[in-house]
Amino acid sequence: MEQTATFASAGDTTVTPAAFHVMMKPRGAICNLDCKYCYFLSKEMLYPGSRFRMADDLLEEYTKQYIASQQVPVITFAWQGGEPTLMGLEFFKRAVALQQQYRRPGTKIYNAFQTNGTLLDDAWCSFFRQHDFLIGLSMDGPPELHDYYRVDKGGAPTHHKVLAAARLLQKHRVEFNILTTVHAGNVEHPLEVYCHLRDEVGTQYMQFIPIVERDNETGFQEGEAVTDRSLTGAQYGKFLTTIFDEWVRHDVGRVFVQIFDVALAAWSGQRPGLCIFEETCGNALALEHNGDLYSCDHFVEPAYRLGNIQEIPLLEMVGSDFQRQFGLDKRESLPTYCRECEVRFVCNGGCPKDRILHTPDGEPGLNFLCDGFKHFFTHIDQPMRIMAGELRAQRAPANIMRILAEEEAVMQRRFATAQRNDPCPCGSGRKFKQCHGRHIP
C-alpha cells in the first residue's frame, strides 16, 4: 500500500492532501475463493441484501472525482476485492475509457489490480498488457504451503490455477508482482517460499504481508486475541531475516522485495513509502461497491465510514478532521517504548490495526509484530548501511553482494588458520577453542 500524499492547505477551513490512494472494491468482499484468513469475506455482513456490484454511473462519478482530486501528474487507480475479475472485463474496459475521458492533459494514469488469478485468461491478459496494468497476484508459496489456506469454495487447492495465471501474464508480458501472505502455515518455510517465487514462478517482485487476524465474532479490529492462523512476531522476524540473508548475497538488483526496498529508503534518509512504516497514515482509503468511503482498507467497519461519494465530495471526506486525526493517531498513540526504540526511524510502530500488545512497562499500543520488526531491522542494519552508502556515492546497492563475499572469504581464512588459543575470529572475545573451535579436535 503505497503512500504518496502530503497535506497542504487548500483554504481557510479545510486541509486536503495533494494526492492519496483509494482501494476500489467494485464487487465489495465477493470472491470465488474461500481463503481461510481473508478479512474481506466477513465484510459481506455490512451490506445485507446487496448485489455487490458497482453501478456504471457510480464508476463514472468516482473516476471524475478521483482524477479531479489528485494534484499530481501520475494517478493510480487501485482495484481490489474480494476478487475484482468477478466484475467482468467489460466493466474494466468502461473504467479505462472513463479514465481517458476525464484525464487532464499531461496526466498519466496507471491501474494496479490485485487478483487471486484463478479467472484470468488470454482476453484479460491482453487487456492488461494493452492498458499497462500492474498486476498483484496472490500466492503463498509452493503448492503444499499455498494450499494450506488458499482454497476454493469447495475446499479444493488453487495453486495450479495461480501458477497458470502467472504463466499467462508472462506470455502476454504483463508486469506483475506476487503478494504472499505470511501465516502459521508457511512462516516456518521462508526459503521454500522465496525460492519457489524466484525460481519456479520466475517473479522479480514480491511482498510478504503478515497475517495478524483478530479472533472475534465481528470481523472488526477489536479485541486482543488472534486466531491460530496468525503468525507470531518472532516467527515473522525470522522469516524476513532468512529471506534477507539469501537475497543480500545473491539477488540484490534483480529481485525486489517490498520491505527491503522500504528499509533501504529509510536507511537512506528517505520516507519509507509504505503506510505501515510511515510516521502518520490516513492517505490510503477504501471505497466500497456502493460508494461508501472508509478510512483504510483494514478498517472497513461502521466506525470508520466517512460517508458516500454520491452525497459528500470525495476530497471533502479525505480532508475531514476525522480522517486527518485517523492518520495522526498513528504517531500520537505511539507508546514511549516505541518512541525510544532504536529502529523507530524505519518501523514507526507499524500499522495501528496490529497494535494490540502492552509494552513491558504496561503501556497499551505495542505492535503484535514488535519482536519481529526489532529483530529484522536490527539484523539488516549493517548491510543496509553499506547499501545506503553505495547509493549516496552514486554506486549500485548491488555492490553489497561483492563486499559481503569478500568479507566472508576473509573470515573463512581466519577460521581456517586460527589456533586453539587464539581469540575467536567471530569477535566474541573468547578463545577459539572455547567458541567456534570447540568441536575441532
302 vs 293: CA distance, rounded Å: 10
Taking the least distance from each CB to ligand SF4, the nearer of 168 and 356 is: 356
The least CB distance from residue 392 to ligand SF4, in Å, is: 25
221 vs 64: CA distance, rounded Å: 32
Beta-strand relationship, 15-17 and 21-24: unpaired
Half-sphere exposure of 439 (CA within 13 A, CB side): 1
- The yes or no reply on residue 22 touching ligand SF4 (CB under 6 A) is no
The least CB distance from residue 280 to ligand SF4, in Å, is: 8
**Using CB under 6 A as the criterion, what x/- string covers residues 325-344 for binding ligand SF4?**
-----x------xx--x-xx
Query: For ligand SF4, which residue of 264, 275, 318, 401 counts as binding (CB under 6 A)?
Result: 275
Q: 230 φ, ψ to 5°? A: -70, 155
What residues does 134 pair with on adjacent strands? 112
The least CB distance from residue 145 to ligand SF4, in Å, is: 25
- The yes or no reply on residue 296 touching ligand SF4 (CB under 6 A) is yes
Taking the least distance from each CB to ligand SF4, the nearer of 59 and 265 is: 265
The least CB distance from residue 336 to ligand SF4, in Å, is: 10
Beta-strand relationship, 205-210 and 15-17: unpaired
- The yes or no reply on residue 284 touching ligand SF4 (CB under 6 A) is yes
Query: For ligand SF4, which residue of 40, 205, 373, 432 counts as binding (CB under 6 A)?
Result: 373
297 vs 199: CA distance, rounded Å: 32
- The yes or no reply on residue 128 touching ligand SF4 (CB under 6 A) is no
User: Are 354 and 360 spatial neighbours (Cβ–Cβ below 8 Å)?
Assistant: no
Angle between the N-to-C axes of helices 399-417 and 381-392, in degrees from 0 to 180, rounded to the nearest 10: 130
- The yes or no reply on residue 370 touching ligand SF4 (CB under 6 A) is yes
Query: For ligand SF4, which residue of 82, 190, 291, 349 counts as binding (CB under 6 A)?
Result: 349
Specify whether 12 is catalytic.
Answer: no
CA angle 389, 393, 397 (to 5 degrees): 55
The least CB distance from residue 19 to ligand SF4, in Å, is: 14
- List 140, 292, 297, 354, catalytic entry: 297
Q: 205 φ, ψ to 5°? A: -125, 125
User: Are 265 and 217 spatial neighbours (Cβ–Cβ below 8 Å)?
Assistant: no
Query: For ligand SF4, which residue of 219, 291, 350, 365 counts as binding (CB under 6 A)?
Result: 350
182 vs 233: CA distance, rounded Å: 11
Residues that bind ligand SF4 (CB under 6 A): 1, 275-276, 281, 284, 296, 298, 330, 337-338, 341, 343-344, 347, 349-353, 367, 370, 373-374
Active site residues: 297
